[in-house]
Amino acid sequence: MRHLGLTTFLLGLLPATIASPIENHCDTPAECAVILCPTNHQCIVRNGKGTCVPIGGSVCGPTICAQGLVCCNASCGTCTKPGMACTQQACLGPQCGKIYCPFGETCCNPSCGYCVKPGGGCTKELCL
């Protein structure tokens, strides 16, 4: 009988224990809700998708630098240790007609050179 009282007591605590972490993470974007990141990583939404990135990292064009590295060439997404040499070449995103789209965007209308973020709307007009 004594075990039944303890079990009932513990089961009474269970909903509060389960609900607390969910309530504390209500600011988690839906895209990250089902992503399990490795240790020392966190989920962020990038280009409409949940992505695991190093905690303390910094955005560097199309990539994210790990903690302790700095962005030395954002157009290429190149990260180095502070003070290290880095190329200054210009890297290009996907070609879209006569232009190149910025990183993180896709070509939606090559005849006009229109680039959009993933899922963005686009006209189907024909440009000359």
Report domain extents, the chain.
Answer: 92-128
How many CA atoms lie less than 13 Å away from 72 in the CB half-sphere? 14
Proportion of the chain above pLDDT 90, given as a percent:
24
Helix or strand run (H / E) with residue 9: helix 2-24
48's tokens: 């409409």
Mean pLDDT confidence for 82-94: 87
**SS3 track for 65-120:** ECCCCEEEECCCCEEECCCCCCCCCCCCCCEECCEECCCCCEEEECCCCEEECCCC
pLDDT tens digits, residue range 41-80? 888 887 778 888 888 888 888 888 888 899 999 888 899 9
Mean pLDDT confidence for 70-92: 89
